[in-house]
Amino acid sequence: MLSYRHAFHAGNHADVLKHFVLVCLLRHLAQKDKPFWVIDTHAGAGAYGLDAGYAAKNAEFADGIGRLLDKAELPAALADYVDLVRGMNAGGKLSFYPGSPYLAAKLLRPQDRLRLFEMHPTDVDLLGKTFQNDKRVIVTRGDGFAGLRALLPPPPRRALVLIDPSYEDKADYSRVVEAVKDSLKRFPTGTYAIWYPQLARPEARRLPERLRALKDVAWLDASLSVRKPATGEPGMSGSGVFVVNPPWTLAGTLRECLPALKSALALDDNAGFHLETSAETRA
């Protein structure tokens, strides 16, 4: 929905999980010389100022990325993500947070490509200004679900697709599942990362179950809860990232890093994490 602005939530616990997994996936793809594409269906503004405007109102980043920047000992993969954020903030002060487009652009090589979709006119303008001199990036104002169909399969036959709508519109839960099913028909070997919120609404609870029911695909489902769910109250108790066709190394990386994320981001004693793979489910 056009009213949604991710800047209110920039750098919170959900961003930390989503973007940490994104960095892991991008690092894996870059290990081979062959080019790849990154397709971001709901790109947002690309990067966010934290000391003024929307992000400063709720300051959700303080209990998210803000808790990780000063951690001296983190697992290597988690430290890699934190170092990328730290590199955007000169002098050690947390003033900016990179969204998924900015992180992806940082990690792409000259031969790789980034396709960004966003509906909000202000955010599209910001994306265009950020990447106006980057020939690897194409920004499109439009529905990312529809745009995805036109791009698959991508020319290099290697791609990471990030699907992370706001879920303000309840229809997004079904659109996500249908988009993944359709994309797998068009491009069965692609890697798909689907972010989802942990909310009280039934559609949110059912989404990971519907994704785990996908037939004949390898998947990984990682979630992080930071507090006890509050019945009848707004706000996320946590979030998850569901990855279709994950790198074989990702499960081990998450098993090492999720405990550190839980320890750093917990808001109460009910914080926890869950990691499940299709291989474990079928065993």
- pLDDT tens track for 25-62: 999 999 999 999 999 999 998 889 888 655 555 678 99
pLDDT digit string, tens, across residues 88-140: 898 778 999 999 999 999 999 999 999 999 999 999 999 999 999 999 999 99
Query: Which of 63, 164, 172, 221 is an active site residue?
Result: 164
Q: Name the token pair of 70.
A: 């000063």
Domains of the chain, residue spans: 6-282
Q: pLDDT over 90 for what percent of the chain?
A: 81
Can 70 be counted among the known catalytic residues? no
Confidence of residue 232 (pLDDT cuts 50, 70, 90): low
- What are the start-end ranges of the H helices in 100-170? 100-107, 121-130, 144-151
CATH of domain 6-282: 3.40.50.150
d(CA 130, CA 58): 25
Angle formed by the axes of helices 76-86 and 13-29, nearest 10°: 110
Give the global pTM. Answer: 0.94
Question: Do 42 and 164 touch, CB atoms closer than 8 A?
Answer: yes
pLDDT on residue 227: 93
d(CA 103, CA 124): 17
